[in-house]
Amino acid sequence: MDQKLKEFKEKYPDIYQAILDEGKASGRKEGFAEGETAGIEKGRAGGREEGLKAGAQAERERIRGIEDLAMPGHEALVQTMKFDGETTPAAAAIKLVQAENAVRQNAAAALAADGIDPITHVATDGAGGDDSPVKKDFEQLVADYQAENKCGKGKATSAVAKAHPEAHEIYLNKMNKGGK
């Protein structure tokens, strides 16, 4: 076969060169097409892998950002926001502040509804002695006793309750909302 090719090449050099050039061009074209297809597939696979890594990293950072904002009492809200796939840490912060404000407003309303009315000063005619009307309210008597005797509130309360039972009774009635 080599001999016939050699003879053909010598007899018809222009035809041989034309066939050779056409074969090279055709081979290059096929090689580029195959290479391009392979390159596109490789690039697509690499891009997909990069995209998955970047997306996973972004999702981890989003969840970590929400977890960093967590507040006691709002665990369920944080859990919901972490796994909804949409809430950003900035949006989570706003939602948590709104939830905390609602808790505080509810607590303030509950305290206002259940709170104890303040005890007012009991008026007296100024006479002294154990049987006389109370000159100061119980809390003021306790505060005065503490200041004079440099003692704790418990000891002062006990001493004032013994010394001024009528003031103590008024105080207890007011605390139990039984007083007027």
pLDDT value at position 134? Answer: 43
Secondary structure of the chain as H, E, C letters: CHHHHHHHHHHCHHHHHHHHHHHHHHHHHHHHHHHHHHHHHHHHHHHHHHHHHHHHHHHHHHHHHHHCCCCCCCHHHHHHHHCCCCCCHHHHHHHHHHHHHHHHHHHHHHHHHHCCCCCCCCCCCCCCCCCCCCCCCHHHHHHHHHHHHCCCHHHHHHHHHHHCHHHHHHHHHHHCCCCC
pTM score, two decimals? Answer: 0.42
Whole-angstrom CA distances from 148 to 26, 46, 79, 141, 156 are 113, 84, 56, 10, 10
Question: Which amino acid does the sequence have at 164?
Answer: H
- What is the pLDDT confidence band of residue 135, given thresholds at 50, 70 and 90? low
Q: Kindly state the average pLDDT of the residues 107-125.
A: 68
pLDDT in tens, 79-113: 999 999 999 999 999 999 999 999 999 988 888 78
- Residues 157, 167: Cα–Cα separation, whole Å: 11
- The answer to whether 132 and 114 are in contact (CB under 8 A) is no
pLDDT in tens, 14-39: 988 888 888 888 888 888 878 888 77
pLDDT value at position 1? Answer: 62
Task: Give residue limits of the domains in the chain.
Answer: 13-92, 117-180
